[in-house]
Amino acid sequence: MRARWLGLMVAALVAAAAGWWFASPWWTLRAMREAAAAHDEQALSAHVDYPALRESVKSNVMRRITTDGRGAEGLGAIGALVADAIAGPLIKAAVTPQGVEAMFRAEDAQDKAARTPDTPGVALPKLPPEKDRPVIERHGLNEFAVRGREAGGATLLFHRDALGWKLAGFDLPPPPAR
């Protein structure tokens, strides 16, 4: 009897862990979207690692500046220092709770525009068509990425924070070929 009870407990724990692993990224994205729609900066900020996000934005911008195929290779060390001095304060000013909220509100506005007009006031919107749903790619147990189904967009990067997730960075798509 005791062995059966222990087996059931282990199976329940494994099922709960698998359910969490599968569903928690979606719950996080939903919570972030709802917090942005409600203009609740505190709730939205609970899902964002601002220092890591700022560093990710800065490294993406600097990488784009120094490796862009439009002649930026010639910037050299002085150009990179100037770009770093300009980009740092701009990124610090842009990567704020208000900036992240605006990003999620813009995404929500696109979702609302895609809804059919016969569903006004519905508390839970219908899922967008499969082609419009984001793709979640898991990178082990501690990270996942969110990107659009179409190639060419930025990818949001999340890392695990206890049993939740925090937005910690993004990857820009490669620059268009010339």
pTM across the whole model = 0.69
Q: Is 52 left (phi over 0), alpha (psi -120 to 50) or beta?
A: alpha
Give the range of the structural domain holding residue 92, as residue numbers without chain letter.
21-112+130-171
Phi and psi at residue 170, to the nearest 5°: -155, 160
Task: Give me the number of domains the chain comprises.
Answer: 1
Q: What is the pLDDT of residue 132?
A: 64
In a domain, residue 161? The reply is yes
pLDDT in tens, 36-80: 888 888 998 999 999 999 888 888 877 777 665 444 455 556 666
In a domain, residue 122? The reply is no
The type of residue at 30 is: R
Retrieve residue 90's tokens.
């701009």
Q: For residue 171, what is the DSSP state?
A: E
